[in-house]
Amino acid sequence: MAFFIIPHLGAAGTILDGPPIGTYKTVTLTEASVCSELCHAEEQVCRGSVLLQPDITQEVYQCYLNDGLSAGSPFEILPPEPLDIEVAVNDLNKYRAEYGLSPVTLNKKLNNASLRHAEDMARNGMISHTGTDGSSHSDRVQEHGYDFSIAAENVASGQESWNGVFKAWQDSPGHNENLLLPDVTEFGVALVYERTTQYRYYWAMVVASPFPGTFTEY
């Protein structure tokens, strides 16, 4: 008997006799390479695959496709560390300072607008600037009581940490432009985790400046 573990979106763990914890489908194969191909074909569900060859003298395999949703799965999906918003705003301001730009301050209304959209994306397993209700980022900002003169939004999915998503935004010209908008003064960001979706981690960030003469809540 021989075991092979084939990571797809998860990390390897302990393999036991029989279907590993988290197996949602078992397929009998005559070619070992097909197992990982099956997992890739179902990447919205499959986090990894385990291949069992019951008799090493025969080219017959059991392919266990794993969703990683159960505790003890060899591809167990773990929730992210809580987002430290103070770290996020400090990192953004350090980055802006490198370009001679003024700092931004955290704003609750922008944070709530970001959270609303991150929750919407996570709930529907999507990545878009348009909400499922058809709202734009400016709609969401205004609906949370923020009257703005300028507002821009970054979104992302799949990054497990603030460091990861911040680096991804820096490396993307359009997103980086929003990080370095010279006229914005306030900021909000949110991370929502939904383990049953393909990308699991959903990010939304808004930078903005209030319309002159409006009250700003921090």
d(CA 189, CA 175) in angstroms, rounded, equals 14
pLDDT in tens, 19-71: 899 999 999 999 999 998 999 998 878 889 998 888 888 889 999 999 888 88
The pair of three-digit structure tokens given for residue 73, joined into one six-digit string: 């799965």
What pLDDT is stored for residue 72 in this prediction? 86
**Which domains are present in the chain?**
2-66 (no CATH), 85-210 (3.40.33.10)
> Which residue bears the tokens 């191909």?
37
d(CA 208, CA 56) in angstroms, rounded, equals 63
What pLDDT is stored for residue 173 in this prediction? 97
Question: Is the Cβ–Cβ distance between 113 and 137 less than 8 Å?
Answer: yes
CA 32 from centroid of its chain's CA atoms:
31
Q: In what order do the strands lie in the sheet with 186-193?
A: 105-106, 186-193, 201-210, 148-157
pLDDT, tens digit only, all 218 positions of the chain: 344 554 443 333 334 457 899 999 999 999 999 998 999 998 878 889 998 888 888 889 999 999 888 888 888 877 778 899 999 999 999 999 999 999 999 999 999 999 999 999 999 999 999 999 999 999 999 999 999 999 999 999 999 999 999 999 999 999 999 999 999 999 999 999 998 888 889 999 999 999 885 544 43
What pLDDT is stored for residue 190 in this prediction? 97
> Residue 109, SS3?
helix
What pLDDT is stored for residue 17 in this prediction? 59
What pLDDT is stored for residue 163 in this prediction? 96
Phi and psi at 79, nearest 5°, equal -70, 155
DSSP H helical ranges for the chain: 34-41, 85-98, 108-124, 137-143, 162-171, 173-179
Amino acid present at 125: G
What pLDDT is stored for residue 14 in this prediction? 39
What pLDDT is stored for residue 217 in this prediction? 47
Q: Kindly calculate the radius of gyration of the chain based on its CA atoms and give it in whole angstroms.
A: 22
d(CA 211, CA 149) in angstroms, rounded, equals 5
